[in-house]
Amino acid sequence: MSGFVPFQALMASAGSGKTFSLVVRYLSLLFMGESPDEIVALTFTNKAANEMQERLIEALTHLHERDELKEIAALCGADETAILQRRPEVLKRLLAADTKVMTIDSFFARILRKFALHAGIMPNFGTFEAQHELKVMARFLKLCEIEGKESTLVAMAQISAKRVSDIFGLLDALYAKAPQLRHLQFEAAAMAPHEARAMALHAQLVARFEGKSLSDRGRKALEAESVEALIGKTWTAKASLEYWDFKKHYDPQMDVLLRQLQGALRGYMQAKEQTFFAHLFELLDLYKSAKLTVAKEDNELSFDDITALVYYLLGERIDREFLYFRLDSHISHLLLDEFQDTSVLQFEILQPLVEEMVSGSGVREHHSFFLVGDVKQSIYRFRGGTKELFGAVTERYGLTVDSLRTNWRSSVNVVTFVNDTFRGRIDGYEDQLTKPGARPGYVEIVEDETPLEGMTAFVERLLALGAAPGEIAVLTATNKDGGAVQETLNARQIDVVTETTSRLIAQRRVRAVIEYLKYCYFDAEIYARNFCALADIAVQPLPRPIRAFDAPAEAVREVITRFGLFDGDLNIVRFLEVLERFRDLEAFLFEHERIDTKAVTQEREGVRVLTVHKSKGLEYPYVVVLDRLGRKKADTAPILYAYEGVELRTLYLRQSKRAEFDPAYAAALEREAALADDDALNALYVAFTRARENLYVVRKPKESMFERLGLSSMTLGTEGVLAAAPALPEAPRDIPYQALALGRQTEVVTAEKAAVAEEPFAVTFGLAMHYALEMMAAFEIEDLAAAMTAVTNRYGALLDAGVFETIRGRLTRLLGDETFRRLVEGEIAREQPLMYEGELRYLDLLVRQEERWVVIDYKSARRYESEHREQVGFYVKAVRAITEMPVEGYLCYVLEEGVEIVRV
């Protein structure tokens, strides 16, 4: 019988197999006949998404020897032989599919691309982790000037004693949470009356000491010129003045005054807070429009922008049904990993999907929802991850909550150490069991005044024992510490792989090409030399094509061909794609440092160095956890977010000494500190649970981040490393690389054409021609060759070679057509999905020109003209309604006898 539970949550400790179960579940769905297109699996980091994708394929490829097999058989209620028999077919389906295993951010970006026009942006926007701050700031200041809000800004800077750039940071933080703040209202309140009252009470108090022989230091302590100075005094926060030098002259009336003074100070601080937030919210709208304008200009969005826009679409522009269920092939199964770090906002966006999944009746019978997480590993509170969400969601949707007790990852000593360390320290911690046949493993803690040296000693020892560099991970508290580790290890000739080294622009060949582009731009010999060195070629004169300025990608293609630089390194291909995003060479050179696209493969072997935060969900045979190298930074974030469960209740402005006057604030501050403490403890739990075999901890004697764990130098077990696996020459592996699948016209066209029962050849011919046009980087004759290669690869099996020549001929004529060239001058979007009046269509070509939009529909045969006109007429109406700008529609017949362009 099938053990498949359709709605299930797994809440379980590190290494207990949550991701494993997710993979098992995904594959089981495939074995039960579900299509990969219908399954969405979302993770928190890109790394986790890539790993999951790899695990799916690996597990399927080697299913006969994998632990997953038994579990899949159990879930499907089938025997293992039957499962193995179906494996090739399932693998084929998986490889051919447009799978949706991705981060929540990418998933939202994908949704937004489909509805880009509804949000007023172009669908081919680039994504960056953060937007161009300076630009946004300049735009924001300009808007403040136009709207006459400069004084508000200045007032805020004064109130909070912050620089304008800090206020900018606050706006950014609020922007990310804006939808959750809708219910909050702040009103600017006058601070002056509170101030006057406080100063008057102060004067009365001072008067009571008049004529008394108060000591000099006592008198000095009493002096205060302003309300802020009063707040800074120690005595103002005391319960009574009957202490210290004041004691001798104390009379009870003084405490009455003191109490009143404290009330006035509290009132002052609260008024300050109200005013501050009232101003901040006033500016928030300007900030939002500054961000959006810059985003539109650069056609580039940060993930916060994407989340905000999708939230807006969902709430105001688009029927929720459409957002999820009409555009894509139907989503029937939703799997969420690392749920403890999903933010409330992200969940609100996913909610319609979840609700569809769990409302199981009729056609929805085949839906399922699965989420896994571990609240002990919740470490993204600052980003709006709210661990309470887990409980709220499982309860609301009545999910079966299961737990897993066995640790499948780590050795006996690591599991024992982790149990001993966190038992009683993390609320509700339950000991984990070790897996059957677990190796003993090893744990060592060392206290070292110079932690970097302690760390190096461990790494060198492991290498000497025979561990491969790639099996060792050093986990650090911050990125900066990671840099120090890298330097230290490099100085000892140990190679290191970090986040930075795995960026696309850090790859050798890509760096070579970037040097070449600098050479084209700056014309300085040094760049040419760098290029030759990085490309491993002799120093020689290089061409500096003038077109490199407008079409850098083209210049790069040329130089790659000339020097034979493309030897299957997919990073070059990916880089060319990235390069296409830039208007011209200047834009690229100005911006390229910010390109955070990841490299296709990890080129280098080396010790992995990463922050504890980045290590979540990952595992390594040998892990060295390094103490924080610097001092702990005090938490000085000016805004405190007070949550009640998953609801953001209110905001507080952090003000020094306020806790002493304001109990409600003091409670909020305490709660905040406790939560920050939980986060820090959880981060340590994450760090210690990454090790499979050996775990090493390097702690400083003072100010250690491990202090609260009471760790001291010790060893557990006998140190050793796994015998190296026999070094098989690694087979060159094809990395499945997919361009963003935005949904294709293919399906729609096929459906449309099938309806008119056209002959199959004509349909395929039409699709191939459309595809060639879609693949053209720009409508230049130089791009035709690459587009034709793409088409031949895709349709080679279906069409004869001669047919491709026909297509090439037709397109050559099209590219030479004056009218066509004029129409496509502008910003171009291809295969743009569009939803209007309940209908989904794909536009072949949408061009934004200065003051108007142009819709172009290609046709490969002159038949059904009246239907075609009707279709384009519908597009025009839709784009006009969405963009509220003039729109022109054209039918573009790309025929054997020539090009005909008909205005509709």
Ligand X SMILES: Nc1ncnc2c1ncn2[C@@H]1O[C@H](COP(=O)(O)OP(=O)(O)OP(=O)(O)O)[C@@H](O)[C@H]1O
In the complex, least distance from residue 508 CB atom to ligand X, rounded to whole angstroms:
32
Q: Is the dihedral of CA 590, 595, 599, 600 positive or negative?
A: negative
- Identify the residue whose tokens are 């098989």: 728
Query: Annotation-wise, does 755 bind a ligand?
Result: no
Strands 714-716 vs 691-699: parallel, antiparallel or unpaired: unpaired
Query: Annotation-wise, does 13 bind a ligand?
Result: yes
Query: Does an H or E element contain 336, and which?
Result: strand 333-336
Measured from the CB atom, is 16 or 332 closer to ligand X?
16
Query: Annotation-wise, does 838 bind a ligand?
Result: no
User: Which residue of 8, 9, 11, 14 would you call a contact of ligand X, by CB under 6 A?
Assistant: 14
Alpha-carbon gap, residue 226 to 196, rounded angstroms: 10
Stretch that binds ligand X, among 9-17, 344-352, 769-777, 833-841 (CB under 6 A): 9-17
> Interaction with ligand X in 571-630: which residues (CB under 6 A)?
617, 619
CA dihedral 274, 279, 280, 281 (to 10 degrees): 90
In the complex, least distance from residue 482 CB atom to ligand X, rounded to whole angstroms:
20
User: Which residue of 7, 8, 9, 16 would you call a contact of ligand X, by CB under 6 A?
Assistant: 16
Stretch that binds ligand X, among 18-26, 99-107, 297-305, 625-633 (CB under 6 A): 18-26
Query: Annotation-wise, does 14 bind a ligand?
Result: yes
Stretch that binds ligand X, among 17-25, 168-176, 477-485, 832-840 (CB under 6 A): 17-25
Measured from the CB atom, is 692 or 770 closer to ligand X?
692
Measured from the CB atom, is 495 or 619 closer to ligand X?
619
Cβ neighbors of 568 (< 8 A, separation 6 or more) are 732
User: Which residue of 19, 152, 302, 307 would you call a contact of ligand X, by CB under 6 A?
Assistant: 19
In the complex, least distance from residue 81 CB atom to ligand X, rounded to whole angstroms:
20
In the complex, least distance from residue 726 CB atom to ligand X, rounded to whole angstroms:
21
CA atoms within 13 A on the CB side of 213: 1
User: Which residue of 11, 17, 52, 60 would you call a contact of ligand X, by CB under 6 A?
Assistant: 17
In the complex, least distance from residue 372 CB atom to ligand X, rounded to whole angstroms:
7
Interface with ligand X, residue 411, by CB under 6 A: no
CA distance to 110, 204, 222, 230, 245, per residue, from 216 (Å): 70, 19, 10, 18, 9
Measured from the CB atom, is 17 or 717 closer to ligand X?
17
In the complex, least distance from residue 12 CB atom to ligand X, rounded to whole angstroms:
6
In the complex, least distance from residue 342 CB atom to ligand X, rounded to whole angstroms:
15
In the complex, least distance from residue 23 CB atom to ligand X, rounded to whole angstroms:
8
Query: Annotation-wise, does 18 bind a ligand?
Result: yes
In the complex, least distance from residue 18 CB atom to ligand X, rounded to whole angstroms:
3
Interface with ligand X, residue 374, by CB under 6 A: yes
Q: What is the CA radius of gyration of the chain?
A: 32
Measured from the CB atom, is 280 or 438 closer to ligand X?
438
What are the residue ranges of helices labelled H in 726-855?
745-755, 760-775, 784-795, 801-816, 818-823
366 alpha carbon, distance to own chain's centre = 30
CA distance to 593, 774, 863, per residue, from 768 (Å): 38, 10, 18
Interface with ligand X, residue 469, by CB under 6 A: no
Cβ–Cβ < 8 Å for 817, 858:
no
Stretch that binds ligand X, among 11-19, 486-494, 556-564, 802-810 (CB under 6 A): 11-19
Cβ neighbors of 44 (< 8 A, separation 6 or more) are 103, 104, 337, 338, 341, 342, 380, 616, 617
| 3-state SS, residue 36 | helix
Query: Annotation-wise, does 161 bind a ligand?
Result: no
> Interaction with ligand X in 158-197: which residues (CB under 6 A)?
none
Q: Residue type for 587, please?
A: A
Interface with ligand X, residue 689, by CB under 6 A: yes
Count the site residues for ligand X by CB under 6 A. Answer: 16
CA distance to 493, 845, 878, per residue, from 901 (Å): 65, 14, 21
Cβ–Cβ < 8 Å for 692, 621:
yes
User: Which residue is nearest to ligand X, using beta carbons?
Assistant: 17
> Interaction with ligand X in 846-885: which residues (CB under 6 A)?
none
Interface with ligand X, residue 408, by CB under 6 A: yes
Nearest C-alpha neighbor of 432 from the set 449, 447, 450, 412 = 412
Alpha-carbon gap, residue 791 to 617, rounded angstroms: 40
Measured from the CB atom, is 409 or 557 closer to ligand X?
409
Alpha-carbon gap, residue 745 to 824, rounded angstroms: 20
Stretch that binds ligand X, among 7-15, 266-274, 550-558, 573-581 (CB under 6 A): 7-15
Query: Annotation-wise, does 772 bind a ligand?
Result: no
Stretch that binds ligand X, among 8-16, 388-396, 771-779, 805-813 (CB under 6 A): 8-16
Nearest C-alpha neighbor of 753 from the set 853, 830, 859 = 859
Alpha-carbon gap, residue 638 to 160, rounded angstroms: 9
Q: What string marks each residue from 109 to 148 as x (binds ligand X by CB under 6 A) or -?
A: ----------------------------------------
Measured from the CB atom, is 277 or 339 closer to ligand X?
339
Measured from the CB atom, is 236 or 394 closer to ligand X?
394
Interface with ligand X, residue 422, by CB under 6 A: no
Structure tokens at 574: 């990916």
In the complex, least distance from residue 592 CB atom to ligand X, rounded to whole angstroms:
34
Sheet of 7-11: strand order equals 100-103, 39-43, 333-336, 368-373, 7-11, 400-402
Alpha-carbon gap, residue 553 to 579, rounded angstroms: 6
Is residue 770 exposed (0-12), middle (13-18) or buried (19+ Cβ within 10 Å)? buried
Measured from the CB atom, is 555 or 683 closer to ligand X?
683
In the complex, least distance from residue 82 CB atom to ligand X, rounded to whole angstroms:
20
Alpha-carbon gap, residue 163 to 156, rounded angstroms: 9
Buried b or exposed e, range 148-185, using 16+ CB within 10 angstroms: ebeebbeebbebbebeeeebbebbbebbbbbbbbeeee
Q: What string marks each residue from 55 to 74 as x (binds ligand X by CB under 6 A) or -?
A: ------------x-------
Interface with ligand X, residue 275, by CB under 6 A: no
Measured from the CB atom, is 20 or 765 closer to ligand X?
20
Cβ–Cβ < 8 Å for 48, 338:
yes
Alpha-carbon gap, residue 242 to 248, rounded angstroms: 8
Interface with ligand X, residue 20, by CB under 6 A: yes
In the complex, least distance from residue 33 CB atom to ligand X, rounded to whole angstroms:
24
In the complex, least distance from residue 48 CB atom to ligand X, rounded to whole angstroms:
8
Alpha-carbon gap, residue 677 to 426, rounded angstroms: 11
Interface with ligand X, residue 15, by CB under 6 A: yes
Query: Annotation-wise, does 315 bind a ligand?
Result: no
Measured from the CB atom, is 354 or 375 closer to ligand X?
375
In the complex, least distance from residue 692 CB atom to ligand X, rounded to whole angstroms:
7
User: Which residue of 177, 279, 409, 557 would you call a contact of ligand X, by CB under 6 A?
Assistant: 409
CA angle 35, 41, 47 (to 5 degrees): 130
In the complex, least distance from residue 612 CB atom to ligand X, rounded to whole angstroms:
12
Binding residues for ATP: 12-19
Annotated binding residues, written as ranges, equal 12-19
Give the interface with ligand X as residue ranges (CB under 6 A): 12, 14-20, 67, 374, 377, 408-409, 617, 619, 689
